[in-house]
Amino acid sequence: MTIRVSSFGVLLAANLLAQPAMAQELNWSWGLDVTSNYVFAGVTQSDDGPAIQPWFEVESQGAYFAFWGSTVDLGSDEWELDWYLGYRNTTSYDLDWDVGLAFYTYNSTGYCCTEVTLELSYPVTSQASVGGFLGYNPDSGHWHRYLDGSFAFTDRISGSARIGANDGMDTEYWQLGASYNFNDSVSADLRYHGADVGDAGLAFSLSFGF
């Protein structure tokens, strides 16, 4: 497998991981998701079967480096391995923003593509928030965009919805779901996915985060 990471990504990772003086400022998080169906942009990536999705992130003062993986069923590929770096912050008007760079790779076919991303989220009320995502693939010139919203019914129960389109997969898609937080580390999610290409159905996920 060949993983292509920009020089900026190497420098950021080195800055985060190789300076003992900043060690006390590093924030580590990691976890594992187990889902009945890995669906991306309305299209199953696991042939409508279950998937295991580990992840980790290291962050310092808004700058972050992260990994996310998932089992897949895509010909000779059995694993998707994604690498992220970026910077996130909140404005004085409570608008959360995140600018990043993502590198998508697979265990057999190797490097797939790169995506430049912008993600925004704004709390409309203490219970409701709206947001959006815009991703650009410089290798192909394709765009990925979506709008979403969430509402917290209680401290443990929330609902969310998303509508989007992905040029690279030639799909328009939507999803609607509900989540339940057992505690700060464990949550469950039940979600219905729909797309104009015909992939539709329910997916159940358990998430463990630390």
Backbone angles phi, psi at 3, to 5 degrees: -115, 120
pLDDT of res. 199:
75
Exposure string of 6-44, with b = 16+ CB inside 10 Å and e = fewer, is eeebeebeeebeeeeeeeeeeeeeebebebbbbbbbbbb
Cβ-Cβ contacts under 8 Å for 177 (sequence gap 6 or more): 159, 160, 161, 189, 190, 191, 192
The domains of the chain are located at 7-209
Tell me the pTM: 0.86
CA distances, 85 to each of 44, 56, 133 (Å): 25, 12, 16
Classify residue 139 by burial, with Cβ atoms within 10 Å: 0-12, 13-18, 19+. exposed
- Identify the band that residue 52 occupies on the pLDDT scale cut at 50, 70 and 90: very high
Neighbours of 146 (CB within 10 A): 19
Q: How much of the chain exceeds pLDDT 70, in percent?
A: 88
Q: Write out pLDDT tens, residues 96-113.
A: 999 999 999 999 999 999
* CATH tag, 7-209: 2.40.160.40
Instruction: Identify the band that residue 20 occupies on the pLDDT scale cut at 50, 70 and 90.
Output: low
Ramachandran sector of residue 75 (left: φ over 0; alpha: ψ -120 to 50; beta: rest): left
